[in-house]
Amino acid sequence: MKIILTETLEKVGKVGQVINVKDGFARNYLLPNKFAIIATANNLKKIESIEAAARAKADQKNEEYRQLAKKINTLEGTFSRRAESDGKLFGSVSETDIVNYLFDNEITCTKSNVLLDKHIKNTGEYEVKIAFTSDIFASLKIIVEAGE
């Protein structure tokens, strides 16, 4: 089925792109979620307006992300975990802990936004990157201390 994408989808295509996909993928996923429209002659004439609307929506979203990044850069998260005398934690500080901390500070993001190579398993200070898009990042200072 020939469709026109109305949203940029990873591994599928960019906004305004005309692509061929399997009928089931289009009918069951792309069309109901309004990620695409059927490529009719009339819709092909609308590609420029679809791209312009998508650019405006993306610009607005990027501005929201920049504001969130500024707010995150000012935060300093402190986590208290049980630890051995050498500073090794019995548990860890994970992406979920960081997302919950941000949520408590009125910032909504997902675990996939938090860029951690591995869970934090020692006391100390850490810088954790939060990625909203491929070019909008924030840096959150995390302090992990021994506690009860």
DSSP E strand boundaries for 2-119 = 2-5, 18-20, 36-38, 76-81, 88-93, 114-115
Lookup result for tokens 């420029």: 48
**Domain locations along the chain:** 2-45, 68-146
> Nearest 5 degrees, angle CA 65-CA 68-CA 71?
155
Give the pLDDT score at 50: 83
Structural fold of domain 2-45: Ribosomal Protein L9; domain 1 (3.40.5)
Mind listing the pLDDT tens digit of every residue in the chain (148 residues)? Answer: 999 998 888 889 988 899 999 999 999 999 999 999 999 988 888 888 888 888 898 899 999 999 999 999 999 999 999 999 898 999 899 999 999 999 999 998 899 999 998 999 999 999 999 998 888 999 999 999 998 7
Note the pTM of the prediction, 2 decimals: 0.72
Structural fold of domain 68-146: Ribosomal Protein L9; domain 2 (3.10.430)
